[in-house]
Amino acid sequence: MGRTMKAERFFFSILLALLLGAVVAFPVLRAEEKGKKESDAVLHGKIQQTLLEGVKFLMSKRAKDGLWYYSNKMYPMGTTALVLYALTLSGISPKDPVFVKALEGLLKFVDKLKVDKVTTYELGLSILCLEAVDRKKYATQILKLKKVLMDRQTKSGGWDYRKPTYMSTGRKTSQRTDWSNTQFAVLGLAAAMRAEEGGYVFRRRRAPDHWLRLREYILNTYLKDYSGWPYCPTVADRSKLRPTPSMTAAAIASTLLTYSSLNNTRRFPCGSDRALLDLVDAGLAYFEKNPRLVFPTRLTSLAAFATYRMYAIERVGFYTGLRKIGGIDWFRVGAKLIMSAARANGGWKDIPGAAFAVLFLSKGRWPIVIQKLKWGKGWNDCPLDLLRLTEKASEAFERKEIEKIVTTATAYMPTPRVGKRCTWVTLTFDTPFEKWLEIPMLLLSGQKFPAFTEEQEEMLYRYAMSGGLIIADTCVGSRDFDEGFRKFVARKFPGYELKLLPRDHPIYSSWYRVYVPLEGFVGPHGRLMALYCPEGMSAEWESGNPGSKGSRMGVNIIKYVTDNVPGIWH
């Protein structure tokens, strides 16, 4: 018992220390961009090599029983789940024998779950892993873990290491929470939502209680004077609390997941929860004011205390679609830090640190297939729409790649699936137009149509005439947006008319056979210049329901467009 408690204290002291402490070539690209693209290709080649080294390091560190351990034979369930999750996103085949054996071990832990001993980290990481591998096949295990997480939520809405414990906060006692445990609980719950039988209704559903409590936790733990969130807010004197970079990044990502989970409920109609959306902007302002806190200036090793923050920043980048956080090109800078540390003596230091580094590098290589225009207030009523859509597309395209793998006689198949994952990005009218042209699709969404300037309308016109596709979407259906977009087309594209696409149009069968009424028109270059869904699909994309008509139609759009962009998947 004494040895176990000592090990526990060692593990949590390490955690406390660490807590406190791909571009694609679009055919219309201008000639002067060629040199930069070649530079990007060189960088991506180095990233791929470093990623391969990280995967090999993780493979070499598995124990004789095929699992991974944190240290001193501790936390095999959580550590194995973290490594398998990282390997999945890196491109390892789920048919790989090493992967299969480790997954079998993880499932045994879940089947014989020791509720009083398993940590919140382990629960959240296990859900992330199983959902990424096969949410349908492992739905029973995922929902079992989800129930334990929900039972552990404190009255304030956050989470502790295990079941709620009490600590003195002046004259009273309060249930202890911290943002590190809370973020992994939130990640697990968000992933579990997609494993619910039959998905869930995205519109006018009842707001789940656990997400409502989490919403209050987010609002109550935010430190307004500093625009960030602290590690452990359960204190007697809140004036002594200060935000940390890792926890602020974790809270920003958790805020977006919470908003998304409550958006379009009866309590929060689409885009109505401005309090959470404003907190996302406030959290990003923390890094704008303190850009040196985005990343350390240098890394000497890839230990967990160093890469934990990088994984948190990576989630903010992917959830918001931002190329820069705090004015820093977060992926390029982060990747270079990891590559530099990997070259140092003993760079690949420990298992969790390597797994976080692999997670960071894996996502940054994915091609950007669609961008979302930040045009003003109301542009982001469904902030996770493109995140969820590209996740769905990646999953669908990967499954087809997996079916092609007929052998299991390899320990590592170099990125057999990476070429079929994709992602998205946010852009504004201040983004250089050359950047617009790098990406074949642009989403223009909202419930009210924007009041564009002539210059802004000209940029949209030039983008479409250069081969880009403008996808207009009303979120949940909006007369204001509908009227505004039709007037914009009539004004800016004379001679063209939005027409209902025929049912035999290839866009309705490019991947799934599905029909959602779409309107559009073809330009002089023979490509669709505009695509419009009067009913609205983006709210359905954000819901994360992988089987919905809107989600399937979105995947079809990505497949139809990217089939006509040579080299985008390479």
Separation between Cα atoms, residue 390 and residue 447, nearest integer Å: 22
Helices 34-60 and 330-343, packing angle to 10 deg = 50
| Backbone φ, ψ for residue 133 (5° rounding) | -75, -55
Query: Spelled out in words, what is the top-level CATH class assigned to the domain 61-163+176-200?
Result: mainly alpha
- Looking at this protein, which amino acid is placed at residue 12? F
- Looking at this protein, which amino acid is placed at residue 373? L
pLDDT in tens, the chain (570 residues): 444 444 443 344 444 444 444 333 333 333 333 445 547 778 888 998 999 999 999 999 999 999 999 987 889 999 999 999 999 998 888 888 899 999 999 999 999 999 999 999 999 999 999 999 999 999 999 999 999 999 999 999 999 999 888 776 666 678 899 999 999 999 999 999 888 755 545 566 788 999 999 999 999 999 999 999 999 998 878 889 999 999 999 999 999 999 999 998 999 999 999 999 999 999 999 999 999 999 988 888 888 888 999 999 999 999 999 999 999 999 999 999 999 999 886 788 899 999 999 999 988 788 899 999 999 999 999 999 999 999 999 988 887 776 666 554 444 444 434 447 899 999 999 999 999 999 999 999 999 999 999 999 999 999 999 999 999 999 888 899 999 999 999 999 999 999 999 999 999 999 999 999 999 999 999 999 999 999 999 998 998 777 789 999 999 999 999 998 887 876
Cβ count near 111 (within 10 Å): 10
C-alpha separations of 167 from 119, 148, 174 in Å: 18, 22, 6
Separation between Cα atoms, residue 228 and residue 250, nearest integer Å: 10
Separation between Cα atoms, residue 29 and residue 316, nearest integer Å: 28
* Residues whose CB is less than 8 angstroms from the CB of residue 433 and which lie 6 or more positions away in sequence, other chains included: 459, 462, 463
Ranges of each domain in the chain: 61-163+176-200, 418-562
HSE at residue 496, side-chain half, CA atoms within 13 A, is 23
Residue-wise pLDDT for 375-411, tens only, equals 999 999 999 999 999 999 998 888 777 666 655 444 4
Tell me, what's the pLDDT at 170? 62
For the stretch 349-370, what's the b/e string if a residue is b when 16 or more beta carbons lie within 10 angstroms of its beta carbon?
bbbbbbbbbbbbbbbbbbbbbb
- Strand 166-169 and strand 528-533: the pairing is unpaired
Tell me, what's the pLDDT at 533? 95
Task: Tell which phi-psi region holds residue 358, choosing left (phi > 0), alpha (psi between -120 and 50) or beta.
Answer: alpha
Separation between Cα atoms, residue 435 and residue 373, nearest integer Å: 12
- Distance from first CA to last CA of the chain, Å, rounded? 53
**Alpha helices per DSSP H over 173-235:** 179-193, 209-221
Tell me, what's the pLDDT at 168? 65
Tell me the pTM: 0.89
Cβ count near 522 (within 10 Å): 12
For tokens 């509720």, the residue is: 115
The H or E element containing residue 528 is strand 528-533
| Backbone φ, ψ for residue 375 (5° rounding) | -100, -10
Domain 418-562 has CATH 3.40.50.12140: yes
DSSP 386-420: HHHHHHHHHHHHHHHHHHH------S--SSTTGGG
Tell me, what's the pLDDT at 570? 62
Measure the CA dihedral 144/316/305/336, to 10°: 130
